[in-house]
Structure 1
Amino acid sequence: MVDPVTARIWTYRAAFLGLCMALAFFRLLPLDTTAGGMPGPDVMLALTFAWVLRRPAFVPPALIVGVFLMADFIFQRPPGLWALLVLLGAEFLRARQGLSRELPFPLEWAMAGVLMVVLMVANMALLALFMVPRPPLGVAMLQMGMTLVTYPLVVAASHMLFGLRKAAPGEVDALGHRL
């Protein structure tokens, strides 16, 4: 029989994968057929950063790469570039997870927001460097702004629907391992 800690980790990993697949599906639906509308937020990015800052064990690097590589193929972006940038950003946050545990939410939001903007600028710069067609800068900035506004909603939904919260300093799991 599987121990409860492992079952919980894999349940959350499956939930993250399912949420990302559902987000990709709904983004593909032709709900807004008018041209020139407001770009939607990158909820997958906000979800990834929120979950990595709360419980890094639930979102391993291989899962992040797999989800965002799948999204690159589905949304016809250059394969691997956005996946690599998101992985680097998530690992940056994972390395600072102990520090961010004690940060109030506005500072966490600012840290995630600055990282999102850095990733967007790096993505645009790399696309320009390799002369790959890229979205207009204004559209990319609007999308990132929408993602920044959506981040608190994603954090609140993750807490209310999945019970995902930051580990308290010194908190241990059922096996006595520090979180």
Structure 2
Amino acid sequence: MDELSPLRLWTMRIAFVAVALVILFFHLLPIDTQPVSLFTPDLLPPLATIDPAEARLRELLDQGSNRILVGPDLLIAFAFAWSLRRPEYVPSLLLALLFLLSDLLLQRPPGLWALLALLACENLKGRSRTLRDATFGAEWIAVAVLLTGILIANRVVLSLMLVPPPHLRLGLLELGITILVYPVVVFVTRSLMGVRRAAPGELDALGGRA
């Protein structure tokens, strides 16, 4: 399909919306809730009165009852990758609506994270020509800095508004995982979705020169 055709433009925009909705769908699945204990204390005898092997098994199976699964923020990772490669595929209004939807669905203070993420994407769009000629390492560092900035700014604003910020340890863990999986997101974006940087001097789908 011609990279400059309106059909290609709108197909890729719809594809990004589909990717975002799939990511949000999996975020909403109850995989981060506490696992159900296989043993009910009220129905079982005390550990001291049962076989030591069974007691050890019960102890091991109940150790994970307070664990919470933390994964990468794939929505912003894909938004960054697409903003750097084909800004016309992810216009500001589309990103704003998707980020706001994620705030509402994930029960974050509506608008704050969405605004910070949108500003970061617009920053990358403005630097797309510079980063196009740089190595992937430079892009990776730029993405890591912006992700860290979003985390810090979000916590500062929430604190100023007297809103309890998310747990710092979980936020740092999500940040680290997101940074680590960004190369995988870029690989999927380029190799599987066909979203590649425009060559120098090439016209984008909106008629602007890359």
- The correspondence for 2:156, drawn from 93, 107, 125, is 125
Find the counterpart in structure 1 of residue 27 from structure 2: 27
Q: Which runs of 4+ in 1 moved over 4 A?
A: 173-177
| Contact preservation (8 Å) 2:84, 2:125 | yes
Structure 1 residues 76 and 173: alpha-carbon distance in aligned structure 2, compared to 1, 3 A threshold: closer
Q: Any conservation in 1 of the 2:72–2:178 contact (CA below 8 Å)?
A: yes
Conserved 8 A contact 2:31-2:69: no
Q: TM-score by structure 1 length?
A: 0.93
Q: Which residue of 2 aligns with 1:48?
A: 79
- The two structures, once aligned, show a CA RMSD in angstroms of 1.8
| Counterpart AA for 1:26 | F
**Who is 2:18 aligned against?**
18
Task: Check whether the contact 1:38–1:142 (CA below 8 A) recurs between aligned residues.
Answer: no
| Residue 110 (structure 1) shift | 0.5
Task: Give, in whole Å, the separation in 2 of the partners of 1:170 and 1:30.
Answer: 47
CA offsets 1:44-84 (integer angstroms, 9 cap, x no match):
01000000000000000001100010010001100000110
TM-score under structure 2 length normalisation: 0.79
Which of the pair has more CA radius of gyration?
2
Q: How many angstroms does 1:32 deviate by?
A: 4.0
Match of 1:112 in 2: 143
Give the total of aligned pairs: 177
Q: Which amino acid aligns with 2:202?
A: E
Identity of aligned residues (%): 45
Gaps of 5+ in 2: 35-65
- Aligned in 2, Cα 1:17/1:133: closer, same or farther, shift over 3 Å? same
For residue 164 of structure 1, the aligned residue among 188, 195, 198 is 195
